[in-house]
């Protein structure tokens, strides 16, 4: 199984998985995703067969939003959802985004446990977020690539070669 960018010929398969997974459908949104945010539209490809997808977009200068994630029913529970989430998070990091967020139905315990496993934190409830009146939970994750990679790069060298970034000392507040 590999995760790759969505291609227009995947559209039918993605729509099939989408209508199996969600009650509200809007195929035009996904075409827009391809046209406007194609770098954040990924599919799970199992021997040339699309078995899942994730679609997101850049919400602000610092934040990426995961708009939709679904795996074909028979392929759930094999780590594909995790792989898709990890992949879109890598894309967010590459774009220097610092946070990822998403919204999930209060009743969708399965997706919530996946997000919690991936260090998403439930932040607040949007009452009546969905068209059937169900509440949505907004969850966020800090991506923080800069600190971790920066520290690893510095600590990986022998002590005498370490060049710590200069600290700016401010006298006035
Ligand atoms: C949510 C979804 C994308 C997860 O995809 P998946 O490929 O099954 O996920 P994974 O196999 O990577 O499982 C990851 C985690 O999900 C959770 N999970 C998986 N199956 C579960 C189940 N039957 N019950 C509860 N939690 C479950 C677990 O935390 C699991 O981690 P673990 O295997 O380390 O315990 C998939 O169930 C799906 O398409 N659901 C319908 C659409 C949907 O709800 N999308 C999310 C909208 S916000």
Q: Determine the structural domain holding residue 103 and report its residue range.
A: 2-159
Q: What is the mean pLDDT of residues 122-133?
A: 95
Answer whether residue 154 shows pLDDT above 60.
Answer: no
- Mean pLDDT for 147-171 is 48
Domain-located, residue 122: yes
Q: For this structure, is 103 an active site residue?
A: yes
- Tell me what pLDDT residue 158 has: 53
Q: How confident is the model at residue 33 (pLDDT cuts 50, 70, 90)?
A: confident
Position 149 in a domain? yes
Q: How many domains does one find in the chain?
A: 1
**8 A C-beta contact, residue 41 and residue 34:** yes
Determine, yes or no, domain membership for 167: no
Q: What's the rounded mean pLDDT across residues 107-130?
A: 96
Q: Which two tokens stand for residue 40?
A: 């954040």
**Ligand 1 centre from 152 Cα, in Å?**
32
CB of 146 closer than 6 angstroms to any ligand 1 atom: no
For ligand 1, atom 30: residue with the closest CA = 114
Q: Which residues of 157-171 are buried (b: 16+ CB within 10 A; e: fewer)?
A: eeeeeeeeeeeeeee
**Does residue 144 have a pLDDT over 90?**
no
The band of 170, judged by pLDDT with boundaries at 50, 70 and 90, is very low
Q: With bands split at pLDDT 50, 70 and 90, how would you rate the model's confidence at 169? A: very low
Contact 101, 89 (CB under 8 A): no
In a domain, 69, yes or no: yes
Render pLDDT for 36-93 as a digit per residue (tens, 0 to 9): 889 999 999 999 999 999 999 999 999 999 999 999 999 999 999 999 999 999 999 9
- Looking at the chain, the number of H-run helices and the number of E-run strands are 5, 7
Residues 82-104 have pLDDT tens digits of: 999 999 999 999 999 999 999 99
The domain that contains 51 carries what CATH number?
3.40.630.30
Whole-model pTM: value is 0.85
């Amino acid at each position: 199984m590999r995760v790759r960018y969505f291609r227009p010929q995947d559209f039918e398969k993605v729509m099939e998985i989408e209508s199996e997974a969600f009650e509200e459908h809007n195929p035009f949104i996904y075409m827009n995703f391809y046209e406007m945010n194609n770098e954040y539209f990924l599919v799970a490809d199992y021997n040339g067969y699309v078995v899942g997808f994730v679609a997101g977009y850049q919400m602000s200068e610092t934040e990426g939003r995961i708009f939709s994630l679904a795996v074909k029913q028979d392929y759930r529970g094999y780590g594909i959802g995790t792989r898709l989430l990890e992949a879109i998070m890598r894309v967010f990091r590459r774009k220097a985004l610092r946070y990822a967020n998403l919204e999930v139905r209060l009743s969708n315990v399965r997706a919530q446990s996946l997000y919690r496993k991936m260090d998403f934190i439930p932040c607040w409830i949007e009452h009546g977020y969905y068209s059937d009146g169900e509440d949505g939970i907004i969850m966020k994750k800090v991506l923080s690539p800069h600190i971790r990679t920066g520290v690893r790069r510095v600590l990986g060298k022998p002590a005498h070669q370490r060049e710590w970034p200069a600290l700016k000392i401010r006298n006035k507040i």
